[in-house]
Structure 1
Amino acid sequence: MAHCGGSPSAAVHYLAGAIASTPENPEPYAVLAELWRDKPSELAEVVQGADSLRTVLAQSYINFLQDDMDGAALAIGSVTGVRPDIAWARAPWFSDERFVGAVSPDALAEAAMRTMDYGRDLDTESMRERFRPWFEAIDVAAARQPLPEPLAKMAILLRACGLTDASFALCDRADSVERIMLTEVVRAGTWRKLGDLQQAVAAFERALALDPANWSLYLDLADVRAEQGNFTSAVQLIDQAMIYEPAELSLRAAGAAYRARLTGSRADLSELIELAPNLPNDSYRDLLIDHACAGPALPAELVAAARRIQNS
């Protein structure tokens, strides 16, 4: 505090910077704990409604000091999502028995999901090393309280980090408690990552058997069928999905794209051109346009109009 002009805010900023440079160093946490003991109300005011990376990082440790292990997990998950290139989970408290023995599976699963919020590439050796404490915490949570939905969500992080065998094993563990739709969706995504589209199809079909009115599952399965080149099946699946959610933009766009690819329908490509600019995911929009523009004998001017959307 003496070095920060007596300002708790400046002290938090300084200590969080020290943690960021070496997350495993216990000294900044000890100073932060002392500050929390001496000035709890001032420090609480600093981190309340935290929105900067450094204040959220401080909040994660203060939550730990308050025995709010779920809050600690969620905060460090958010920080990790912003900067996964820093090994935040090497913090001594993250591997402490007080934390791993008390954090709820639901909170740890949500925290794991937050680490992937910004779509960073986690499938590298260096990332796997940084995320090792997460894997260890997941192992403990899975053994302590194997709830199917949290296990499935945690399996998504394992997959993102390239640990596909471990991801499958966690899905199998979830199934041993109760079979749920989400587990099959996660399993399908893992097979897709591995390039085994037939296994992905089988997993999505099992998911649909568990939740047959879920339009999103039909769309997922249709997309895989399109990837396989089976546009007849893709169109049929979209038609089934439309029974449940006929106004859904992504279904309408996918249906138009897959029909245009299958039949060379001018009307369907025109519909896709109308819908595509409103799709929220640019990469998915571009994929649908690629499929549609490969349809037989489509007018060159319509294909050009579709391509302009990709370049806009």
Structure 2
Amino acid sequence: MSEGVGDPRLAAEGELSLARLALDDNEVGHAADHVANALATAPSLPDAHAVLAMLLSHPDGGVDLWTVDGEVYVGTALARAHALAFHGEYAEALSLLVSVQGYEPGMAWADVPWVLDSELAAKLDPAELLNVFVQLLKAVPDPCPEELAPGFAPYVQLVRSLVAVHADSGNLLWLASVLTRRLGLLDEATSYAIESERVEPTDRAAIAVGYALRSQGRTDEALAAFERALRYQPGNVAVYADIAGMLGDAGRLDEGISWAERSLAIDPVHDCSLVERHSLLFRRDGAVDDLVAIADLLRLAEPGSHEKQHAAELSDRSRQVWLAGIPDPTEAVINVLDQLLAAEAVSAGGASLTVSALEPPSAFLAFGLAVPGSEVTVSEILPPDPRLPVSLRGSQCRPIETVVWQYDGSVSRPAVAPPGAEGAAAIARVADFGESSGVRARSGWVSVPAAYDHAVLLASTPLEDLLGVLVHPPASPTGAAGDWPGWIRAVQTWACLGIAHHRTDESWVESVRRQVLADLAYGPEDWITESALFALATTAWVDPSARADVAELMGWRLLAAVEAQRERPVTILGSLATVTLATPGLNPDVAALARDILTADDDAPEDQPAGPSAEQPAGRPVERPVEVPKKRRGIFRRR
């Protein structure tokens, strides 16, 4: 690549050279186009403004060399703004600049001499600028990311100058407070807001004080300011919702809920208050139906509507697994794998390992892929047999048609063909998405609906590929041996979410997607059980017609696991309890049982480390088998 290619300043100077040549030929219109290009590339370049001044002084020149009718080029809007300022029409010039700032907020479009001129404030009428600065506030994120702040710095300087000249303008002080608060200048924002309320006591000014103090963590003072706002305007339910949210952020959940309920007593359908109430109730009580109620509100809202701003409230701030992402595996064979890799005790010949009881086949798959050539021997298979579809009280719960694992004794093998190359690649892409997708990293998501929406990319992937990848995972993108367990769990989860998008035109109860996911959930005990149950729960989040059915499927599957746990270890039981609690419309007794499982697990003493110590050799041959002790849990207690 030639030196200088891609350098904005050099590109702009090239445009200006062409503009000067066009002027020499009296091609004023062409010259104007090149100046616009230069400004769009390097908006503060002094030579660009000098050539623009030459065009404005030309007999055939003037502001109308750059028109803004219809779809407007950024450079054209900038050139016209500077031309208007050249003629003293500052309000219209600022309006154009602000519109460009909103289009591309990361650029310092206003970092030009006339905006930064300390004398400009005295030439401006605050009343004429009110709409301009309201337009500016729409362009400033709340809060503004650090990388965007420099683009708004010239406006902050202008606002400071305006406040110094027009210190009695309550509107201007209010605007200054909002702008500086969003840019993180909190002391300044608080000062402007307090002065705004002193100059012009209004609910808007008091709210600005409340927001500024809230941003500083001064909750009680902010509450007093919001209460003053309600004295100015008692029926402002938005203020009630703001108070509820602030108190929730301060950990004062009961108080926050009370304020949200007071708001709903005034306006029972106020969206902000509904969302705050449900969000705070979930944070206090942990009942997922409150998050689902928010999801329902958002699902019914019009695109671009006010309600859509509440999407962040669907995030579980505690980062509970399955609501926020995939839990880590707990199997003994994975614990051994971690120890071997940490001790760098894996030889080229693999490892020989004996476990006392059968564990999920996906765990053995992960061990084998991480340590190729390994052998895992199972001492015994305890009843109820985890290789078979689940049973309850000795009888099978439901018929199973789709099975992806088969067993030869204690050795598992895939019961379905590998996925096609295109299908495997599609699933791997979805499972390995990046932060920029707006969802989250590989093993997590911002919210359950976000995970469901991301998986729509697999809606056209053949069902046989979605099933095949469950037991024939594509290569881990990192290539690290220790990443295999997490990668397999991610692939299985996203594949099951892909199945949830299969033939969505079919009614839920008779659908193929329900039949397949239920079969996977009730089939041989495995990590796939967890993934299928999560896909069922996710479907219930987005499809109210599926909720009762999914809640029943979830409840019986958990009960089957509890019964099995009374006789043998069920390594996935904790995860099943957590995914159950992520399911809408649960029977209260099922929800209580799931909570008891997790509470009993939290109260249980730590297991002794399983498998070889870091000092023991793990490569083949091994002097003696490594015996992994059985894991027993206590009897579950009821509340």
- TM-score band, normalised by shorter chain: 0.7 to 0.9
Residue 192 of structure 1 deviates from its aligned partner by: 3.0
Inter-partner Cα distance in structure 2 for 1:18 and 1:293: 48
User: Which amino acid in 2 is paired with 1:171?
Assistant: A
Match of 1:18 among 16, 19, 38: 38
Q: Structure 1 residue 112: deviation in Å?
A: 4.4
The equivalent residue for 2:333 is: none
Residue aligning to 1:175? 197
Report the equivalent of 2:316. Answer: 290
In the alignment, structure 1 residue 309 sits paired with structure 2 residue 330: no
The structure-2 alpha-carbon separation of the partners of 1:66 and 1:242, relative to structure 1 and needing over 3 Å to count, comes to farther
Tell me, in whole angstroms, the C-alpha distance in 2 between the residues paired with 1:72 and 1:227: 41
Residues 196-235 of structure 1: matches in 2 within 5 Å?
A: 196-235=218-257
Task: Summarize deviations over 1:46-82 as a string: whole Å, max 9, x none.
Answer: 2345633212212211221343211111221222333
Quote the offset at 1:12 in angstroms. 3.7
Per the alignment, residue 48 of structure 2 pairs with 28
The TM-score normalised by the length of structure 1 is 0.77
Asked if the contact 1:253–1:276 (Cα under 8 Å) also holds between the matched residues in 2, the reply is no
Partner in structure 1 of residue 175 of structure 2: 153
- Contact 2:118–2:161 (CA under 8 A) maintained in structure 1: no
Question: Computing the radius of gyration over CA atoms, which structure comes out larger, 1 or 2?
Answer: 2
124 and 199 in structure 1: CA distance in 2 versus 1, 3 angstrom threshold: same
1:221 is displaced (CA, Å) by 0.9
- 1:147–1:208 distance in 2 versus 1, CA, 3 Å: same
Question: 1:290 is paired with a residue of what secondary structure?
Answer: coil
**1:71 alignment partner, one of 83, 92, 95:** 92
Structure 2: runs of 5+ lacking an equivalent = 1-18, 321-445, 454-639
Cα–Cα, structure 1 residues 245 and 102, in superposed 2: closer, same or farther, change >3 Å?
Answer: farther
Residues 65 and 207 of structure 1: CA distance in aligned 2, closer, same or farther (over 3 Å): same
CA contact (8 A) 2:66 2:80 kept: no
Q: Kindly indicate whether the alpha-carbon contact (under 8 Å) linking 1:100 and 1:140 is maintained by their aligned counterparts in 2.
A: yes
In structure 2, how many angstroms separate the alpha carbons of the residues matched to 1:31 and 1:307?
Answer: 52
Q: Structure 2 CA distance, aligned partners of 1:15 and 1:291?
A: 50
Stretch moving more, 170-179 or 250-259 = 250-259
Cα RMSD of the aligned pairs, angstroms, is 3.7
Contact 1:257 1:291 in 2 (8 A): no
Q: TM-score, normalised by structure 2?
A: 0.41
Match of 1:3 in 2: 22
Letter in 1 for 2:48: P
1:28-61 deviation per Cα after TM superposition (whole angstroms, max 9, x unaligned): 2233234234345783562345633212212211
Provide the C-alpha distance between the structure 1 equivalents of 2:148 and 2:287, rounded to a whole number of angstroms. Answer: 48
2:601 is aligned to none
Query: Closer, same or farther in 2 for the Cα pair 1:240/1:288, shift >3 Å?
Result: farther
More strand by share: 2
Question: CA–CA distance in 2 between the matches of 1:135 and 1:118?
Answer: 12
Give the superposition deviation at 1:308: 2.5
| The one of 275, 278, 281 aligned to 2:297 | 275
Q: CA deviation at 1:158?
A: 1.6
Partners of 1:73 and 1:107 within 8 A in 2: no
Please name the residue that 1:57 is paired with: 78
CA gap 1:161/1:229 in 2 versus in 1, 3 angstroms: closer
TM-superposed CA distance for 1:132, in Å, is 4.6
Task: Give the structure 1 partner of residue 258 of structure 2.
Answer: 236
Q: Where does residue 91 of structure 1 map in the other structure? A: 112
More helix by share: 1
Cα distance in 2, alignment partners of residues 199 and 53 from structure 1 = 44
Contact 2:178 2:189 in 1 (8 A): yes
**Distance of aligned partners of 1:44 and 1:216 in 2 relative to their CA distance in 1, 3 Å threshold:** farther
Q: For residue 308 of structure 1, what is the amino acid of its counterpart?
A: V
Structure 1 residue ranges, 4+ long, deviating more than 6 angstroms after superposition: 264-267, 291-294
Q: 2-side partners of 1:105 and 1:183: how far apart? A: 17
What is the identity, as a one-letter code, of the residue corresponding to 1:220?
D
Verify the 8 A CA contact 2:256 2:280 in the aligned structure 1.
Answer: yes
CA distance in 2, matches of 1:245, 1:107: 35
Tell me the residue number matched to 2:68: 47
Q: What secondary structure is seen at the aligned counterpart in 1 of 2:139?
A: coil
1:102-150: CA deviation from partner (whole Å, max 9, x where unpaired): 223245455445266163975649945x655433322221132231122
One-letter amino acid of the counterpart of residue 290, structure 1: D
Alpha-carbon distance in 1 for matches of 2:287, 2:200: 45
Letter in 2 for 1:162: G
1:142-171 deviation digits (Å, cap 9, x = unpaired): 132231122211222222333222222222
Secondary structure of the equivalent of 2:123? coil
- Shift of the 308–154 alpha-carbon distance from structure 1 to 2, 3 Å rule, reads same
Output the CA distance in 2 between the equivalents of 1:62 and 1:245.
Answer: 49
* Residue number among 200, 203, 215 corresponding to 1:193 in the alignment: 215
User: CA shift at 1:217, angstroms?
Assistant: 0.9
> How high is the sequence identity, in percent, across the aligned residues?
22
Q: What CA distance in whole angstroms lies between the structure 2 residues aligned with 1:264 and 1:158? A: 36
- Tell me the distance in 2 between the aligned counterparts of 1:220 and 1:107: 30
Distance 1:178 1:263 in 2: 42
Describe the superposition over 1:3-39 as per-residue Cα deviations: whole angstroms up to 9, x where unpaired. 388362x534421343355544443223323423434
Aligned to 2:188: 166
Tell me the distance in 2 between the aligned counterparts of 1:18 and 1:89. Answer: 15
- Where does structure 1 lack aligned partners over 5 or more consecutive residues? 295-305
- Count of residue correspondences: 299
In structure 2, do the counterparts of structure 1 residues 150 and 168 end up closer, same or farther at CA, with 3 Å as the change threshold? same
1:303 maps to which residue?
none
Quote the offset at 1:193 in angstroms.
2.8
Distance in 1 of aligned mates of 2:114 and 2:85: 7
Q: Structure 2 CA distance, aligned partners of 1:59 and 1:67?
A: 12
The CA distance in 2 between the partners of 1:271 and 1:127, in whole Å, is: 36
